[in-house]
Amino acid sequence: MKINTLRIDPNWQNRLEEIGFGYHTLGGVPFWVDDRYYEITSREADLIYKATAELWDMCLQAVEYVIKNKQYASFHIPAYMYHHIENSWENDDPSIYGRFDFAYDVERGELKMLEFNADTPTSLFETGIVQWYWKKHYFSEGTDQFNSIHEQLIASWTQLKPYLKGEILHFACVKESLEDLTNLEYLRDTAIQAGLATKLIYVDDIGWNGHSFLDLEGEPIQSVFKLYPWEWMVREDFGVHIVNDALRAQWIEPSWKMLLSNKAILPILWELFPNHPHLLAAYFEEPDFLKHFVKKPILSREGANVEMYYDKQMIYATEGEYGEEGYIYQELATLHREDSGFSIIGSWLIGQEPCGISFRESDMPITTDKSRFIPHIIKY
């Protein structure tokens, strides 16, 4: 794996906007990197594919373990949701997607899971569409990319269609985020291509009539894809209505994904699969023998409130509003580093299939919402 540079297309911003990518630059600083890319080998692509598939199977075993042993307290989940989670798991409520974040040590060829964005992962549009068009712009037809996201999304919605409740699949996100809306509309477009009837509604506009959820036209919401975190939903005033819903709306992602999107799953995975080659040691309490580690709030998002320790001395920390819910302690990983910054690999799972990767680069060794997106190609 190595970084390469290109002569930048002077029209790159307009080119991206033409395909609907409106947040390529944030605060005057490019979020999308158009003139640098990662070149990976087919062997490295195979390694990521196999690791993603194996970790997904391990995660499903971990969910079964947590539910069987009722270890919800470690996850800071309200008690009223326990039964909903168990029902969603026992009913095999479907999941569409997730993204594993990996640290890759090129020298050792080691791929280590940092965490699993299992509920509301973003950068799907960048990964599935924008970097594909980037490849077509700069490279010949013979150049490959680890990217079958678009096709797999359509196939997954097609498989899901017979199991949806009602005639319409609602798609919901917050009003204020162009990034969320872009990712949501991309997902909705692939659902439409799969033959589903859809309707956009903002989370802010979802109504409650005393026994079921409604859209702005007063139509009942029976199936809904939400780009909005479960941990936020269940802490809000309307959260209790989820378990009181007479129509028992089908939520995608399902509530059992709350367990996998929570960093409390990391010590559980380490307990179940100790010394697994793709896992970092992780614990609920700080162990004396761990000298180099990261302290993470279990519900932290975008790298907030993360503390990094080396020889038990804090060397870097981020600010934020998390931590009250509890922490986990994870072995410090070796991140890939270039002159331009530190990079992690995002590996996407659509349906049950690993199908695409993304690279995020940061000036400091913690990935945040300001981390840059770098496209890639496969070198044979």
> Which residues are bridge partners to 41 per DSSP?
379
CA distance 147 to 348: 9
Per cent of the chain over pLDDT 70 is: 100
The average pLDDT across 257-264 equals 98
Residue 130 gets which letter from DSSP?
I
Distance CA 191, CA 158 (A): 8
Given the DSSP bridges, would you call strands 198-202 and 169-173 parallel, antiparallel or unpaired? parallel
Asked if residue 274 belongs to a domain, the reply is: no
pLDDT at 142: 81
Q: Report, as an integer, the average pLDDT of 123-127.
A: 97
- Is 90 exceeded by the pLDDT of residue 141? no
**Tokens 């797999």 label which residue?**
152
Own/partner long-range contacts of 282-290 (Cβ < 8 Å, ≥24 apart): 282/328, 282/329, 282/330, 282/331, 283/328, 283/329, 283/330, 284/74, 284/326, 284/328, 284/329, 285/329, 286/329, 287/329, 290/329, 290/331
Q: Is residue 13 part of a domain?
A: yes
pLDDT at residue 58 greater than cutoff 90: yes
Same domain, residue pair 179 and 241: yes
- 347 and 245 fall within a common domain: yes
This prediction's pTM: 0.96
- 198 lies in the same domain as 303: no
For the residues 8-23, what does the mean pLDDT come to?
Answer: 96
What's the pLDDT score for residue 181?
Answer: 97
What is the model's pLDDT at position 238?
Answer: 86
The CATH number of the domain where 164 resides is what?
3.40.50.11280
Average of per-residue pLDDT across 67-82: 96
- pLDDT band of 13, cuts 50, 70, 90: very high
Domain assignment present for residue 102? The answer is yes
Same domain flag for 222 and 289? no
Tell me what pLDDT residue 379 has: 86
Q: Tell me: do 248 and 370 sit in the same domain.
A: yes
**Is there a domain that residue 267 lies in?**
no
In this predicted model, what pLDDT tens digit does every residue of 198-250 receive, in sequence order? Answer: 999 999 999 999 999 999 999 999 999 999 999 999 999 889 999 999 999 99
Same domain, 173 and 315: no
Residues 285 and 372 in one domain: no
- Are residues 128 and 16 part of one domain? yes
Band (302; pLDDT cuts 50, 70, 90): confident
Q: Residue 251 has what pLDDT?
A: 97
What's the mean pLDDT in 24-39?
A: 95
- Residue 271 in any domain: the answer is no
Contacts by 198-205, CB closer than 8 A, 24 or more apart: 198/168, 198/169, 198/170, 198/171, 199/168, 199/169, 199/170, 199/171, 200/170, 200/171, 200/172, 201/170, 201/171, 201/172, 202/172, 202/173, 202/174, 202/175, 203/172, 203/173, 203/174, 203/228, 204/174, 204/175
Domain count, the chain: 2
> In 3-state terms, the chain is what percent helix, strand and coil (to 5)?
35, 30, 40
* Cβ neighbours of residue 206 closer than 8 Å, sequence gap 6 or more: 172, 213, 214, 215, 221, 238
Shared-domain flag, residues 306 and 162: no
Give residue 134's domain range.
2-262+335-379
Shared domain check, 182 and 118:
yes
pLDDT at 303: 87
Q: In this structure, is residue 37 part of a structural domain?
A: yes
140 and 124 within one domain: yes
User: How many angstroms separate the most distant Cα atoms in the chain?
Assistant: 59
Residues 238, 312, single domain; the answer is: no
Q: Is residue 128 part of a domain?
A: yes
Q: Is residue 323 part of a domain?
A: yes
According to DSSP, residue 363 is labeled S
Q: What is the mean pLDDT of the chain?
A: 96
